Structure 1
């Protein structure tokens, strides 16, 4: 009997049916038909999650925050602290995903764990938070790669000491456009090889990190810091006080690098056994990310030149400046940044892949306007991917990128808001489940037991703290240019989606397709 016959016919699936079901049966039980090809193993998913974070790349592009928020101490211990907190988030997401493993991810989960009185609106708001977060974070990664590339090029100076390519805003956007097209092309045309590419990227990442560490310490042209300064020195130059709060603002560095953790949930319908694979991959990738970040950040901190020199560089990209100081010449420093630039492109490719599945899944449930006319909920049979959803997401990113030509501050607001949207989307189903006694997780195939209460509580507390933290400017005093407007975009987005639901969405959005499944199937 096929999964469709089994679940759409007269037979109602019992809890025992679901325990012994295949991934296709499970998807049918959740209310959907299998359209994507299941080829990814646990390691494939873990490696993709690792590439989504792309720790050396993510930590390089945001290194400014901890350097002004305390120096090497904030860099290292901030990374360890946030990694431990995000491990609880990953475990909590893994547990709830093992109960509801499909591409819709957190918005489907929010619906299923919510009481009937408000499950539709919670699913709607969380769905838009997750979708906006996916699209904007993909934009942020590709634009971040653009800025890193420009910063690395400007390691080379002219006779006046200026970078050799001080790009105009429109030139920066054109480079961003090229990188965006490249990442979408790799993701769409190379879908069958993406899992292998992720595996290669993991090896490539560690090789690139080791190259930076070994070359930097072998030469150390300007000497090395001592261990007491690296692990215990604390120098705040951001203007924030007291020092403890300066340290907290510096955590933005690690929080940004781990913000894409849950995006891999959108790949559930391409995993062989998502209810077991995705939870293991989420937690395993977090551990691998922490290890890679620790191996990268500690040796790099020993090579730090004068912090003021690093943070005041016009490129606003600390890594090229640090490597130029350590290697002693521009050519060698640039060569060591090449692996990080490539990693940024590969990270963007993984983000494109995950965000396209997210947009596709949300459109499949009828939540995105024009989804039928634009075919956003369709799967391209030749490529085996939701191509129209990918293209729709790409167009939105390119248009948002145009904002950078007119106002850097306005564009940066969207970058920061993407992380906030994702953070809210992660914690929503976890918080609803927690405050309702976790009674919808009894059938989870990766159940945390009593430890789940602890992980959920830590996740809720961390996300509640992180959301306002992401709205903080990097330093004081604040000007119209340096102000962080992420909160404005975030609040506007939440208000707009809520009003939209009350005015129109509630009339045509009936919740996820599987939302009418009885509670005896999902006890």
Structure 2
């Protein structure tokens, strides 16, 4: 689009701003995209409230406390769940603050791998950037698979609760997983234009559901003693060390805090991203952490006999707790259905973040078939190919559940290792820069003098979480109880390195420099 008759640069800038405002593209966003040498390809539909809604609903923290507490219950019981949650909340706050600072420096959909390219020494920047992008992509696709798997298997748990004749089959869970995936695809594509508004509605459900679960537990369920909740360590897993068992149980408290980097991967769809994205990340962790801790305490006080709850035929101890609280199949089914709905809604965000991470990495030629995956549909301004790609990969992973639950769980546990390592790498590089006193070009949101201690606490807690995410949940270890995530993580890393050695190093040179936007040219949307 040409602007005839404009005589001054100021006139040109004003006219361009008018064009960009049509798609929510502000002057601040224009400057950020120019700084990162990237073209604007998405509509900027998100503001602070809708982005906060997206992240809070996607993290599903209080919901995850209920359906992922199993390892903590085996390794210490409520003591591990509550104190482990507090540990992971502090870790998440420091990590979120560290990522928020970098997101303000470079608000781009690439997120972690882009920041690594900026922060790493030139000699190592390309490789470190690529491996970070690889881990982040794996982590988000695994997270998507975990979300829809929880949805499917919780539905199976309701079948077991309400129909004693029902025979639990793994392939049933896989089919239900596929159904949840189809819902995610529909929301991310057919409803893509109103997706931010859908997330606003989901946030209301997220809070209303919290009250709908908390109140019946607090009012109707039998209560344990404070000493049994806060001071009694119950090690069902069989470790000889309470301290070791507590650290192994952290996997249950880390899962509720997965996904706070989601806003980073939507940065190119957010108005005033350099300030909105950081605040959305921080506010989400504060909000969800508060709700999650309340559920941790309420759930711990309303536990019945721990071994009985853990051995529930439904596959989930919280369903047994709900039934013990309400003494009603209908009441416990409604409470469980609320969780199923919210976890499915969270998976909408998992697919959105996974597809943007995949698209951004493909745009910079970091993945096989990058030319295909980096395509943005001009009619919808959505990365439809990346959306479908992530869906297909997640569905293929879901098939593994038919043959072996242990192998499937190992793959979805890549979520913690993949994403946490992708957080740890840029944070570690930021620590090095701060120690050396090197110049850092901060954005409008900065930690200031608190940066070094915050980064250090974050890095230390991430290292602890990654190491213990590879431990088996109990002993003695069998083929079924073994935590195969270390093998799956090592295998996926070797596959990535083989690709990088053969092909990736020849075509990936860090975030690419795209043709800059010319003043007076309408973005090609």
Q: Structure 1 length as normaliser, TM-score?
A: 0.90
Residue 320 (structure 1) shift: 0.6
Q: Which deviations, in whole Å up to 9, do the C-alpha atoms of 1:199-225 show, x marking residues without a partner?
A: 2222212222222222234333xx211
Residue correspondence of structure 1 range 418-497 to structure 2 within 5 A: 418-437=415-434, 439=438, 441-497=440-496
Aligned Cα root-mean-square deviation (Å): 2.1
**What's the offset of the Cα at 1:167?**
3.3
Shift of 1:514: 4.0
CA contact (8 A) 1:76 1:298 kept: yes
Q: CA deviation at 1:497?
A: 1.8
Q: Tell me how far 1:157 sits from its aligned partner.
A: 4.8
Distance in 1 of aligned mates of 2:498 and 2:81: 41
Give the structure 2 partner of residue 231 of structure 1: 230
User: Is the 1:23–1:272 Cα contact (8 Å) retained in structure 2?
Assistant: yes
2:202 corresponds in structure 1 to: 201
Give CA-to-partner distance per residue, 1:212-270, whole Å, 9 cap, x none. 222234333xx211222222222111112311111111111110111222132100001
Number of the residue aligned with 1:11:
none
Task: Give the deviation of 1:129 after TM superposition.
Answer: 0.6
Q: CA deviation at 1:96?
A: 1.0
User: CA 1:440/1:404 → structure 2, altered by over 3 Å: closer, same or farther?
Assistant: farther
In structure 2, C-alpha distance between the alignment counterparts of 1:261 and 1:236, rounded to whole Å? 31
The CA distance in 1 between the partners of 2:171 and 2:215, in whole Å, is: 38
CA positional deviation for 1:516: 12
- For residue 211 of structure 1, what is the aligned residue in structure 2? 212
Matches within 5 A, 1:72-91: 72-91=78-97
The whole-number CA distance in structure 2 between the counterparts of 1:467 and 1:448 is 25
Q: Are the aligned partners of 1:56 and 1:340 in contact in 2 as well (CA < 8 Å)?
A: no
Q: Aligned match of 2:387 in 382, 385, 390?
A: 390
CA separation in 2, counterparts of 1:300 and 1:443? 42
Could you tell me which runs of 5 or more consecutive residues in structure 2 were left unpaired when the two chains were aligned. Answer: 1-7, 14-25, 517-525
Name the residue aligned to 2:153: 147
Q: How does 1:300-315 map to 2 (within 5 A)?
A: 300-315=299-314
Compute the displacement of 1:109 (Å): 0.6
Distance 1:441 1:275 in 2: 16
Shift of 1:21: 4.8
Quickly say closer, same or farther: Cα 1:515–1:494, change in 2 above 3 A.
Answer: farther
| Counterpart contact for 1:57–1:341, Cα < 8 Å | no
Correspondence for 1:128: 134
Cα separation, 2, equivalents of 1:166 and 1:75: 31
Using the alignment, how far apart are the partners of 1:2 and 1:399 within structure 2? 53
Per the normalisation by structure 2, the TM-score is 0.90
Whole-Å separation in 2 of the counterparts to 1:503 and 1:209? 49
Secondary structure of 1:65's match? helix
Look up the match of 1:325. Answer: 324
Q: Distance in 1 between matches of 2:49 and 2:39?
A: 25
Q: How does 1:65-464 map to 2 (within 5 A)?
A: 65-158=71-164, 164-220=165-221, 223-372=222-371, 375-437=372-434, 439=438, 441-464=440-463
Deviation string, structure 1 residues 285-336 (Cα, Å, up to 9, x no partner):
0000111112222122221100000111233311111101111121211111
Paired residues of 2:158 and 2:333 also in contact (CA < 8 A): yes
Distance 1:132 1:339 in 2: 29
Q: Among 63, 81, 104, which residue is 1:57 paired with? A: 63
Q: Which deviates more from structure 2 when the two are superposed, residues 20-29 or residues 88-97?
A: 20-29
Structure 1 SS opposite 2:152: helix
Shift of 1:512: 0.5
For 1:421 and 1:357, the matched residues in 2 are separated by 16
CA distance in 2, matches of 1:138, 1:433: 29
SS of 1:83 mapped into structure 2 = helix
Q: CA deviation at 1:515?
A: 10
Residues 135 and 422 in structure 2, CA contact (< 8 A), matched pair in contact too = yes
What is the Cα deviation at residue 2 of structure 1?
9.6
Change (3 A) 1:515 1:59: farther
Question: Residue 62 of structure 2 contacts residue 293 of structure 2 at CA under 8 Å; is this kept in 1?
Answer: no
Runs of 5+ consecutive residues of structure 1 not aligned to the other structure = 7-19, 159-163, 518-523
2:160/2:313 contact within 8 Å kept: no
- State the distance in 2 between where 1:455 and 1:44 align: 27
Give the Cα separation in 1 of the matches to 2:286 and 2:311: 33
Answer whether contact 2:250 2:465 (CA < 8 A) is retained.
Answer: no
In 1: Cα distance, 2:68 partner to 2:513 partner: 40
Deviations 1:71-100 (A, max 9, x none): 222222211121011100000000111111
